[in-house]
Amino acid sequence: MSEQTFIQINPERWLDIEQFPGAKFFPLAEPVSQGSIHLLTMKAGTTIPIHTHPCDEYVYVMKGVVETGGKTCSSGIFWFTPAHTQQGPHIAITDVEILTIRLGEMGVFESP
């Protein structure tokens, strides 16, 4: 029989994203093969450049303010980006905490 899984968010288990200094993520689950549900933090001033993913992506801003594609998103904003759709740049206006659900592999962070 399946059981519920509970995860304690431990500050020591956050992973740095080397190519984006100031950004860290915390994996929570893998809902589909190579997909992820994870938390992402970005320190104010951190930028993730324009990019695409080969899968759909769902994002919820939990804390802070982030600008994405010229739209300012504060806590409580949710956005959806279909697979292969250009997105970003993501610019942290303040320190930001985001919940992301990606339904497939991450892909490569390159400008299209």
Q: Where do the domains of the chain lie?
A: 26-102
Q: What is the largest CA-CA distance in the chain?
A: 47
**pTM of this prediction?**
0.87
Which long-range contacts link 75-84 to residues 24+ away (Cβ below 8 Å)?
80/56, 81/53, 81/56, 81/57, 82/56, 83/53, 83/54, 83/55, 83/56, 84/52, 84/53, 84/54
> In this predicted structure, what is the pLDDT of residue 19?
87
For residue 36, what are the β-bridge partners? 102
Q: Give the CATH architecture of domain 26-102.
A: Sandwich (2.60)
Q: Would you say residue 111 has pLDDT above 60?
A: no
> In this predicted structure, what is the pLDDT of residue 106?
76
> In this predicted structure, what is the pLDDT of residue 76?
98
